[in-house]
Amino acid sequence: MVEAVEKLTKKSEDPSKWYLQLVRMAKLADYGPVRGTFAIRPYGYAIWERIQADLDARFKATGHQNAYFPLLIPESYLKKEAEVVEAFDPELAWVTIGGREELEERLAVRPTSESIICDFYSNWVQSYRDLPILINQWCNVMRWEKVTRPFLRTAEFLWQEGHTVHATAEESREEALKMQGVYRDTFYETLAIPVMTGMKSPSERFPGAIETFTCEGLMGDGRALQAATSHDLGQNFSRAFDITFLDEQQDRVYAHQTSWGFSTRVIGGLILVHGDDRGLKIPPKLAPTEAVIVPIWRGNNKGEVRREAEALFSELKDAGFRVEADLDEEHSPGYKFNEHEMRGVPVRVELGPKDIENEQAVLVRRDVAGKEGKEFVPRNALPGRLRELLGEIQENMLAQATEFREANTRRAESYGELKEIIEEKRGFVLAPWDGTPETEQHIKEETKATIRLLPFAGEAGEEGKDLVSGKPGTTAVFARAY
């Protein structure tokens, strides 16, 4: 593994190459035989499982239930919502033959599930007493992307998609904002990623939505990543699919809906936000392995050190830690140090003959380099100190990412400054926008930056004149994005 670590491109020199190398070297994912498809390997999937468990608990705590809907969607269903067809048609994968017979109607492999779920809801909703419907599904989807990159943009990916139905516009908007808040809490508390939240511009909204709320993360290379979105669909889909109900006045009215989603692309965000030249850094709450024990033996003391390492492993495992003991006898401790650092294990526990003699162990934290990250801990205090240390690492990783985001969020005072920041410094750029698609498109064409979000009222600071048109504008956040 030493050779692999030495060959890892520096993140600062070539972030793209570093990312692609790290995904494979850390055994997170591997390329599939069909362009744009990837196998998520056990270590990468273990991270997704922990994210999934965290979100699933939050969804259920807010009253949502899980269900599952069909993978194949009839073309006629998509045509009921013209905006959805227009948006996804270039990305759709179609099934045209079943067995040996050509199908009478093309079937799309699920790119998102609004149309198929709405068809069920049209049958399930009859009265105001049937509402609200609060359903989420965990599944895979397929979008025939032209340019792919592991986790960040793939033809097939895993995600969750929530689909809810409400009696009023107020309830629908409240639900969409609530779920954006759930995502935000997961990013801050679990992934240690300080996302910015706000609304999408009309051109960036989900097709068919009346408002899209977003969580945007800033990656280590200065690009933005749309990390999760929540959509207030209003009555657009209910009108297309005839989702109506009798209200309390016994009038038949159209329902209001939301949808919201979060996918495996956040693993790519996790890599780009926290990774460094040594490899991954995984927040303890997500780490498949919180601590790895590396015994350090020489000659005749191998047996004793190995026994003590096994005993410590059992002790920490019984205390509830996700722990490994690296008892491989073919490689040196230095080799193992590099391997587990690249995997992003939050804490390394070193145990040698002198440590055994002194009834102690050495804790080395992944988030801090050098001597500052190493401490000697009495053996009887080890479980307690390890638990404290994991909490400190989780907080410090969020602090590190927040410091980076703040240092790379700038306000442009002129159009020339906006272009200069985006080209040379990247990051988030705050500037007034006059609200017109013409200005938005002009900036996109000249800078390759898009409006990532419109901050909520009171969160954007000073307003001013649009830097392109000179008209009065409200603050928008621009950035180049994945």
Here the CATH number for the domain that contains residue 342 is: 3.40.50.800
Q: Mean pLDDT over all residues of the chain?
A: 95
Averaged over 393-413, what is the pLDDT? 98
In a domain, 307, yes or no: yes
For residue 383, give both structure tokens.
Answer: 């479980």
In a domain, 400, yes or no: no
Residue 398's Cβ-count burial label (10 Å; 0-12, 13-18, 19+) is buried
In a domain, 195, yes or no: yes
Scanning 275-379, the segments in alpha helix (DSSP H) are: 302-318, 333-343, 353-357
Q: What is the CATH number of the domain that holds 452?
A: 3.30.110.30
Task: Indicate whether 111 and 183 sit together in one domain.
Answer: yes
Alpha-carbon distance 461 to 195, whole Å? 17
Q: What is the CATH number of the domain that holds 106?
A: 3.30.930.10
Scanning 360-414, the segments in alpha helix (DSSP H) are: 382-407
Task: Indicate whether 140 and 263 sit together in one domain.
Answer: yes
Scanning 242-301, the segments in alpha helix (DSSP H) are: 265-274
Number of domains in the chain: 3
Domain final position from 324, 356, 389: 389
Task: Indicate whether 320 and 202 sit together in one domain.
Answer: no
100-107 contacts, C-beta under 8 A, 24 or more apart: 105/74, 105/75, 105/76, 106/74, 106/75, 107/72, 107/73, 107/74, 107/75
Query: DSSP state, 80?
Result: T
For residue 131, give both structure tokens.
Answer: 């509402």
Amino acid at 197: T
In a domain, 420, yes or no: yes
Alpha-carbon distance 354 to 357, whole Å? 5
Alpha-carbon distance 434 to 44, whole Å? 43
What pTM, to 2 d.p., does this model score?
0.95
Domain of residue 337: give its range.
Answer: 291-389
In a domain, 248, yes or no: yes
Q: Which of 28, 40, 247 is nearest to 125 (CA)?
A: 247
Averaged over 77-98, what is the pLDDT? 83
Q: 477 - beta bridge partners?
A: 430, 453
Lowest mean pLDDT among 176-180, 207-211, 255-259: 207-211
In a domain, 253, yes or no: yes
Task: Indicate whether 138 and 183 sit together in one domain.
Answer: yes
Alpha-carbon distance 365 to 345, whole Å? 9
Task: Indicate whether 214 and 259 sit together in one domain.
Answer: yes
Torsion of CA 329, 297, 317, 56, to 10 degrees: -60
Q: What is the pLDDT of residue 356?
A: 95
Task: Indicate whether 141 and 268 sit together in one domain.
Answer: yes
Task: Indicate whether 248 and 159 sit together in one domain.
Answer: yes
Domain final position from 243, 274, 305: 274
In a domain, 285, yes or no: no
453 near 216, Cβ under 8 Å? Answer: yes
Task: Indicate whether 194 and 126 sit together in one domain.
Answer: yes
Task: Indicate whether 257 and 382 sit together in one domain.
Answer: no
- Residue 342 — left, alpha, or beta (φ > 0 → left; ψ -120 to 50 → alpha)? alpha
3-state DSSP: the chain helix, strand, coil percent, rounded to 5? Answer: 40, 30, 30
For residue 89, name the pLDDT band (cuts at 50, 70, 90). Answer: confident
What would the pLDDT profile of 330-342 be if each residue is shown by its tens digit? 899 999 999 999 9
Task: Indicate whether 91 and 170 sit together in one domain.
Answer: yes
257 near 237, Cβ under 8 Å? Answer: yes
Query: DSSP state, 190?
Result: I
Task: Indicate whether 296 and 256 sit together in one domain.
Answer: no
Domain final position from 329, 356, 389: 389
For residue 244, name the pLDDT band (cuts at 50, 70, 90). Answer: very high
In a domain, 47, yes or no: yes
What would the pLDDT profile of 265-295 be if each residue is shown by its tens digit? 999 999 999 999 999 999 999 999 999 999 9
Task: Indicate whether 148 and 219 sit together in one domain.
Answer: yes
